[in-house]
């Protein structure tokens, strides 16, 4: 009976260790999400520019989208 418990315990521990995410995997996932978000923001910016045409107030709002998209770039280059 103790042998079976030991085998189950060792098997469970091995499974948990094997399934854990490495720091590199977490970083890759975060980078992928950041890229997706930047792509989404750029699409919104392009649509905003198309809709704004010559309206300066709307163009200023579009510029805020572009600035928001570049914020992640500055913090990412420092890493």
Look at the pTM and tell me if it is higher than 0.85. no
Query: Number of folded domains in the chain?
Result: 1
* Chain Cα centroid distance, residue 63: 22
The residue range of the domain holding 31 is 22-77
Chain segment 32-63, per-residue pLDDT in tens? 999 999 899 899 999 999 998 888 888 888 88
Tell me if 35 is assigned to some domain: yes
Please state, in angstroms and rounded to a whole number, the distance separating the CA atoms of residues 37 and 62.
Answer: 16
- The per-residue b/e assignment along 35-56, b for 16 or more CB within 10 angstroms, e otherwise, is eeeeeebeeebeebeeebeeee
Whether the CB-CB separation of 55 and 38 falls below 8 Å is answered with no
Tokens of 53: 């045409």
């Amino acid at each position: 009976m103790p042998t079976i418990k030991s085998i189950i315990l060792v098997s469970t521990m091995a499974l948990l260790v094997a399934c854990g995410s490495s720091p590199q995997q977490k970083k890759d996932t975060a980078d992928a999400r950041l890229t997706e978000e930047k792509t989404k923001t750029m699409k919104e910016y392009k649509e905003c520019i198309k809709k704004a045409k010559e309206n300066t107030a709307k163009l200023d709002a579009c510029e805020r989208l572009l600035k928001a998209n570049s914020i992640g770039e500055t913090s990412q280059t420092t890493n």
